[in-house]
Amino acid sequence: MAFNDFSMDNQWLPFTPNRHFRQDPRVFVAAEGMHFTTHDGRKVLDGISSLWCVGAGHNRKPINEAIKKQLDTLDYATAFNASNDQAFKAAQMIAHMAPGDLNKVMFCNSGSEAADTSMKVALAYHRARGEGHRNVFIGRERGYHGVGFGGMSVGGIPANRKVYGTALLPRVDHLRFIHDPVNHAYIHNQEPVWQDDILAELETRILPLHDPSNIAAVIVEPVAGSAGWYLPPQGYLKRLREICDKHGILLIFDEVITGFGRLGTNFAADYYGVVPDMLNFAKCVTNGVIPLGGVICREHIYQAFLDGNAKSPDHAIEFFHGYTYSGHPVACAAAIATLNLFKEDNLFERAGQMGRVLGDAMHSALKGLPNVVSIRTMGLAGAVEMTPIAGAPGKRGYGIFLDCYHQGVLVRPAGENIVLCPPYIVDKAQIDQLVGTLAASIKKHA
Ligand SMILES: Cc1ncc(COP(=O)(O)O)c(C=O)c1O
């Protein structure tokens, strides 16, 4: 069935070449399991979990039913000076899943809001403890923390930053990027072992430059997702934890992509055995069905706000922050149903298993193809990187993305990378289709 009863005159598309889109529109009108239906009636395999969101696959009845039930019970309730039962239940489930004493969940609606929320918590935390001078943030080159001014400032993807000049936060520095294209071009479920100490610059250059006593927090994605699935060197996150502890700096993990099963564990923090002070999440928490994000804080963070207000009157608010839709009951009902579904169907375990299948398939089918210079796989995700076309960065990846789409497979271009991160329900035949289509397209674009 074709759905052509819409005009494309009024929607301004995000992170999309809008001029070209109109010549070659890609419009989804339905989805089921691993597949979309397009406006012109074709089936497209979702090779990217719809931007890392749809871990359990599309149109999952338990999630839909929970949402419908919630709509008929409590559609919405104010989030300030009151809350709702679903928000408390969802927070409890999330806290139980999180490692260590990460146990206080502040909800928001997206990964970008989670980034800005965690940064504001960091500043307010230090101030509550009498260390208000700690206001420098450290991100990482090619990191992505969404599109708010805080997240953009600590983010390190040049195209996302370049037109905002002094509107970016002033007191921010960046760790160097974590990819070694010579020694670690091809990686499959390993932690790359570096000869040189990639974090030495933090201790010898960045911290002394700003003085450690001025630094509020370091924020990193445990695995750099949006830039193209770049894996941390062996021991990197543990060492980062130690350095932060030594200097009283908070460590924030942005797990908007890695959270809720992508590596086969609840969080990347579990996979790497490192507990951050704050952990940002979004996307998979509701299977992408309804926007929900949040920051899970360790007990000592929350406690500092209480202690800082110990002498304040009862009506004093400890933290002036929140969103109209923080802990929205329908989103939280979706989260509860999603997290139950992940558990009942053992989907994180399946993500780990299918990740090995995906990694094997990518390395055996794509290595050696024209222009391929790197393949990195870990958990149920992988990236293949190609040399850029001279003078036209990103063009090859975009061309391959379009071609794959027309061959019935949705992949994600990220600079010179193509990323695959299918839903956890993916099977071997679908992985073969994904990787086979990508291989054919890479050859076509030689
Ligand atoms: C690590 C990370 N942080 C933050 C975000 C931003 O999330 P949102 O688009 O929901 O604002 C993303 C989005 O992909 C992300 O990958």
Model pLDDT for residues 263-313, shown as the tens digit of each residue? 999 999 999 999 999 999 999 999 999 999 999 999 999 999 999 999 999
> What CATH number corresponds to the domain at position 335?
3.40.640.10
| Domain annotation covers residue 3 | no
Mean pLDDT, the chain, rounded, equals 97
The Cα–Cα gap between 193 and 367 comes to: 21
One-letter identity of residue 75: D
Q: Is the CB of 118 under 6 A from ligand 1?
A: no
Q: Is the CB of 53 under 6 A from ligand 1?
A: no
Residue-wise pLDDT for 57-101, tens only, equals 999 999 999 999 999 999 999 999 999 999 999 999 999 999 999
Q: Are residues 432 and 331 in the same domain?
A: no
Quickly state the pLDDT bin for 1 (edges 50, 70, 90). very low
One-letter identity of residue 369: L
| Of 344, 360, 381, the domain-final residue | 344
Q: Is the CB of 226 under 6 A from ligand 1?
A: yes
Number of domains in the chain: 2
Q: Is the CB of 146 under 6 A from ligand 1?
A: yes
Largest CA distance in the chain: 69
| Domain annotation covers residue 39 | yes
| Domain annotation covers residue 11 | no
Q: Are residues 204 and 91 in the same domain?
A: yes
Q: Are residues 206 and 130 in the same domain?
A: yes
Q: Are residues 387 and 265 in the same domain?
A: no
| Domain annotation covers residue 8 | no
The per-residue pLDDT for 4 is 72
Closest atom of ligand 1 to 257 CA is 16
pLDDT at 2 over 80: no
Burial class (CB in 10 A: 0-12, 13-18, 19+), 308: middle
Q: Are residues 267 and 365 in the same domain?
A: no
Closest atom of ligand 1 to 109 CA is 10
Quickly state the pLDDT bin for 318 (edges 50, 70, 90). very high
Quickly state the pLDDT bin for 3 (edges 50, 70, 90). low
Q: Is the CB of 142 under 6 A from ligand 1?
A: no
For 23-28, what is the mean pLDDT?
95
The per-residue pLDDT for 43 is 98
Q: Are residues 200 and 328 in the same domain?
A: yes
Q: Are residues 340 and 367 in the same domain?
A: no
Q: Are residues 283 and 154 in the same domain?
A: yes
The Cα–Cα gap between 390 and 410 comes to: 26
Q: What letter does residue 2 receive in the DSSP assignment?
A: -
pLDDT at 133 over 50: yes
How much distance in Å is there from the Cα of 113 to the middle of ligand 1? 9
3-state secondary structure 406-431: HCCEECEEECCEEEECCCCCCCHHHH
Residue-wise pLDDT for 187-222, tens only, equals 999 899 998 899 999 999 999 999 999 999 999 999
Query: Whose CA is closest to 289, among 65, 59, 113?
Result: 59
Q: Are residues 276 and 337 in the same domain?
A: yes
The percentage of the chain sitting over the pLDDT mark of 70, rounded to a whole number, equals 99
Higher pLDDT, 2 or 412: 412
Q: Is the CB of 49 under 6 A from ligand 1?
A: no
Residue-wise pLDDT for 325-381, tens only, equals 999 999 999 999 999 999 999 999 999 999 999 999 999 999 999 999 999 999 999
For 221-225, what is the mean pLDDT?
97
Q: Are residues 94 and 143 in the same domain?
A: yes
pTM exceeds 0.85, yes or no: yes
Range of the domain at 424: 18-56+346-444
| Of 299, 329, 344, the domain-final residue | 344
Q: Are residues 188 and 228 in the same domain?
A: yes
| Domain annotation covers residue 6 | no
> What CATH number corresponds to the domain at position 420?
3.90.1150.10
How much distance in Å is there from the Cα of 287 to the middle of ligand 1? 14
| Domain annotation covers residue 89 | yes
Quickly state the pLDDT bin for 6 (edges 50, 70, 90). confident
How much distance in Å is there from the Cα of 159 to the middle of ligand 1? 15
The Cα–Cα gap between 139 and 131 comes to: 20
The per-residue pLDDT for 5 is 81
Provide the token pair at 378.
């870990």
| Domain annotation covers residue 31 | yes
| Of 344, 368, 391, the domain-final residue | 344
Q: Name residues whose C-beta falls within 8 Å of residue 126's C-beta, 6 or more positions apart in sequence.
A: 132, 133, 134, 135, 216
Provide the token pair at 46.
């979702």
Q: Are residues 168 and 237 in the same domain?
A: yes
Q: Is the CB of 382 under 6 A from ligand 1?
A: no
| Domain annotation covers residue 13 | no
